[in-house]
Chain A
């Protein structure tokens, strides 16, 4: 789960990492109550990148400019994300901007500290100036690791490392990390917490702002569900099979609108829940692609039929393979368009969707 900048900065403060004096607001009246000397920086609170380029950060030298900046930012939609909150901060006198982060490096399977003496830009665009320092997760951060980065940021690196480990982060990034008045100061925060570890962090925000309302509902029911751009809802069991089905659809010019991984369920109720959420996404066609190994095809068929008897659904094209497939096919023959192969199910759904 991604944290907003202001949430990340609250975490920074609790770890002794200095941040500019600031306040997060969502109403214009609140500007009047802010007890920070001008000039201010007003920053749109969004989770997508590229906020600065989109005009989501504005300077205000007095209250009038602040009100104007507030209105402009609040009206913005940055890469499809509406601005709901603004962080108002003192404008620091910056001497130097650097980059510092810790993340879980998949390919080395270690923690990776990255430091650059040039900050404020996208890390991917400054490859040659980046120091990469690998840290064994069993041993942790050592003094010699810190000696590879400038003295003035070592303490902040130690604190950021502690936060990274204790809060189960996938990524903890300060960019830019500024030197202002001789002190290291985190001007921005980017923190991604591992969703799998949320259960042991009651202190962290619960609502994952990146998800759509339907995605959130699905997640609360333990269903893997992703909304996409197309009009065909895909239900399969297993993440790989669901992705492969979406890919196959695309080969026949069909556009997947929903990714729904049913998982290894043997419970008709779960199938009904999945269909319920799927129907709310309003697809034009539903494609069901099941490979029953442990999952029994007839149990899934039972769930589909019970749901269809009680609810309106768009046409369903289904390919059901595996344990008890014959029984399932016989049960479903009056309800769905049944086809035999992976290829056919994608082709047929694409036709109906187009």
Chain B
């Protein structure tokens, strides 16, 4: 078991002929992901690392993909996601950064209408160690195990996952939800799935300033999550009104501060680490998990 992504994934890569698309197609294959097709309009008939390239998602459906990863540039990303949704794909991971928020709103709502899941945008993707990876996480950081990780950040997650693995704590699934204000999947979606997943014994949340997703997650945890949850929140020292790298990492007025998130999570019984590298030790010392 794992959440959302397992060994049955048959992946389509949208934007496969670009620099990122090619590089990560190979990296995902090395992880063990079964990549069945790629799409780049106008490049049909090519091959990238042995993967056949098609002009459209509709054409690529003859290879029966059941998930897609989107690397296409921001200006064309909405089009790519809607094309995949219309072709019937039910899991779409959007790596692309800097997509206009109104575009994201549209494809996120269209995905709801199509009963499909979008992960991202502006995210590192999702990986279930030993099974499959749809994303750009470095392969070397993972270890198979029982901790579920959900995060709004990229590199900070690599850092935390690597420190977990080094401490002997493996992961069931790691999902990067994305650093934008509007994302297809939220902490609550991930918490719900990890709570239901038999393999997952503990959950790690990596949040950051901006919005109220962590506060909403805290409310959800109080009512619905029985498994131990650990968290780290980045941006305690970030000033209000400044976008800290991620489009979504901004304190607006008095909304979205780290203090508010940490207080809400602690109130829900979540153990919040002061430093990212502390999480591995905290989990290791939790006798109830092991």
Q: How far is the CA of A110 from the CA of B181 in the complex (A)?
A: 12
- Which residues of A are found within 8 Å of B216, using beta-carbon distances? 107
Contact B101 A170 (CB under 8 A): yes
B27, B153, B211: residue with the most chain A Cβ atoms closer than 10 Å: B153
Would you call B74 an interface residue if the criterion is a C-beta within 8 Å of the partner chain's C-beta atoms? yes
Say yes or no: A109 contacts B212, CB within 8 Å.
no
Contacting B at CB under 8 A, from A283-323, are 291, 293-294, 321-323
Cross-chain contact of B244 among A106, A107, A239 (Cβ < 8 A): A239
Pair A137/B277 contact, Cβ less than 8 Å:
no
Question: With contacts A342-B277, A343-B277 known, is A240 near B156, CB below 8 A?
Answer: yes
**Among candidates B155, B212, B274, B275, residue contacting A237 with C-beta atoms closer than 8 Å:** B155
A332 to chain B, nearest CB (A): 20
Q: Which of A151-159, A173-181, A246-254, A272-280 contacts B (4 or more CB under 8 A)?
A: A246-254
Inter-chain contact B244/A293, CB cutoff 8 Å? no
Residues of A within 8 A of B154 (CB): 238-240, 264
Decide: A224 and B245 in contact? CB cutoff 8 A: yes
Asked if residues B108 and A107 are in contact (CB atoms below 8 Å), the reply is no
B237 partner residues in chain A, CB cutoff 8 A: 243, 246-247, 249-250, 256
Cβ-closest chain A residue relative to B182: A109
Complex interface: stretch among B10-18, B50-58, B62-70, B247-255: B247-255
Kindly specify which of B39-47, B84-92, B134-142, B193-201 makes contact with the partner chain.
B134-142
Closest to B158 in A: A293
Q: Indicate with 1 or 0, residue by residue over B229-253, a CB within 8 angstroms of chain A CB atoms.
A: 0001011111100111111110001
* Cα of A124 to Cα of B255 in the assembled complex, Å: 10
Determine which of A138, A236, A239 lies in contact with B113 in the assembled complex, contact meaning CB atoms within 8 Å: A138
Which residues of B in the span 242-290 have a Cβ within 8 Å of any Cβ on A? 242-249, 253-254, 258, 274-277
Question: Which of A136, A241, A323, A343 counts the most B-chain CB atoms under 10 A from its CB?
Answer: A241
Answer whether residue A61 sits at the interface, using C-beta atoms and an 8 A cutoff.
no
**Residues of chain A contacted by B120 (CB below 8 angstroms):** none
A228, A256, A291, A343: the one contacting B275 at CB < 8 Å is A343
Q: Does A63 belong to the interface (CB within 8 Å)?
A: no
B244 contacts A137, C-beta separation under 8 Å: no
A259 interfacial by beta-carbon distance below 8 Å: yes
Dominant SS at the B interface? loop
Residue of B nearest to A250 (CB): B237
- From A124, A249, A294, contact of B253 by CB (8 A): A124
A239 to B243, CA, bound (A): 10
Are A239 and B249 interface neighbours, CB within 8 A? yes
A199 and B77 alpha carbons, distance in the complex (Å): 14
B100, A194: Cβ atoms closer than 8 Å: yes
Using an 8 Å CB-CB cutoff, how does the interface string of B174-191 with A read, 1 for contact, 0 for none? 000001011000000000
For the complex, give the distance between the alpha carbons of A96 and B253 in Å: 26
- If A226-B242, A256-B237, A293-B137 touch, whether A240 touches B179 (CB-CB below 8 Å) is yes
- Bound: A259/B27 CA distance, A: 30
Inter-chain contacts of A194 with B (CB < 8 A): 100-102
Complex: chain B residue closest to A239, CB-CB: B245
B155-A168 in contact (CB<8A): no
- Flag A215-245 by CB within 8 Å of B: 1 or 0 each: 0000000001010110000001111111110
Known: A168-B101, A322-B138, A323-B138. A107 touches B276 (CB 8 A): no
Whether the Cβ atoms of B141 and A293 lie closer than 8 Å is yes
Report whether A197 and B248 are in contact in the complex, using a CB–CB cutoff of 8 Å.
no
CA distance A90 to B70 in the complex (A): 52
Instruction: Provide the residues of chain B in CB contact with A195, threshold 8 Å.
Output: 247
B6 interfacial by beta-carbon distance below 8 Å: no
Decide: A239 near B159, CB < 8 A? Known: A107-B211, A196-B99: no
Q: In the complex, A259 Cα to B235 Cα: how many Å?
A: 11
Residue A341, interface by CB 8 Å: yes
Using known A-B contacts A109-B105, A240-B208, determine if residue A259 contacts B155 with beta carbons closer than 8 Å.
Answer: no
CB distance from B119 to the nearest CB of A (A): 14
Q: List 7 A-B contacts (CB under 8 A).
A: A106-B181, A124-B254, A168-B102, A195-B247, A240-B246, A244-B276, A293-B158
